[in-house]
Amino acid sequence: MARERDFGPIQLADWLGLEPRDVRRAQARGLIPPPDIDDERWSLTLAKTLPDRIEEIVSALGGRGSGQASATAPAPGAAGSGFGRANSGKGARGRAFGPIQLAKWLGLENWQVPRAVQHGVIPPPDVDDKRWSYTVAATLPDRVEEIRAAVGDHPGLGSIKAAEHLSRRTQMEVERVDVQALADRGLLRPIAEFKGHPMYAVGDLDGLAEEQITATVRERHAWIAASLTTKEAAALLGWPVGKFEVTAERLGIRPGALGRYAREDVEALPDQPGRT
């Protein structure tokens, strides 16, 4: 289940159509209550009490015009509940939404919008390949539950965090390369990417059979026992690292997993100390 929205100072200011400095001033004067989450963030429940008091807050701060933006600020409440009303003003249909703006409008987490595009439940941006037009965005509020069901309530784990998760689950030392090996074998499917790196669903990680994880970890240990790093291979031969790397490349000897060389390939090379 998705966590209820909350707001930092800048997010709350944007949501209310105020400037961040106005939020700070209003809080100092008691016009906006203190944050109720870890003394840093406002819950959605508390934030909902504020939009009806925007004019009062702006007037108390000296009648600044910063509050005028509230006329087009997203309405509080359930996802998309005020979408049509907030955009019914003149020029609304000319608006375009970036991914963060669209997430706020729909009551979604920021990561859920690009994930939903990947899953095909939100269409790709139709304005400069970066933003969504009002025409497209207006079709989405009624589909928020469908979108949430498609993308889930967790952004997923990268391979390092996934390995840590599996380690806690199995009490084994699972490493990032083990997660990658499981994916290479088709036992684990990425659900998305973040900056080019695969992300894995917690449910898929929990669905892996423990024997599959155990076998993968054991194969890694077996390979480490049967292989050498570049430095270890050079030391075994009594060569500088550079000589080993150049010689191995010339002879077509390539490193395997983890950048390690099979010990038998290294031992087959000539000129080891004591070899005649």
pLDDT category, 91, cuts 50, 70, 90?
very low
pTM over 0.85: no
Q: Within 13 Å of residue 201, how many CA atoms lie on the same side as its CB?
A: 15
- Range from 53-57, 64-68, 72-76, 95-99 carrying the lowest mean pLDDT: 72-76
**What pLDDT does 182 receive?**
94
Residues of the chain with pLDDT > 90, as a percent, come to 35
> Half-sphere exposure of 105 toward its Cβ, with a 13 Å CA cutoff?
26
- Which residue has tokens 């965005």? 137
87 compared with 28, residue with greater pLDDT: 28
- State the pLDDT at residue 65: 45
pLDDT per position as a tens digit, 157-168? 889 999 999 999
43 alpha carbon, distance to own chain's centre = 22
pLDDT digits (tens, 9 = 90+) for 207-216: 999 999 999 9
The reported pLDDT for the residue numbered 16 is 82
Which of 1-15, 71-85, 237-251 is predicted least confidently?
71-85
220 touches 177 (CB < 8 A): yes
DSSP state of 123: P
Copy the structure tokens of residue 113: 């919008």
Q: Write out the E strands in 2-119.
A: 6-7, 42-43, 96-97
pLDDT in tens, 38-54: 888 889 888 888 888 88
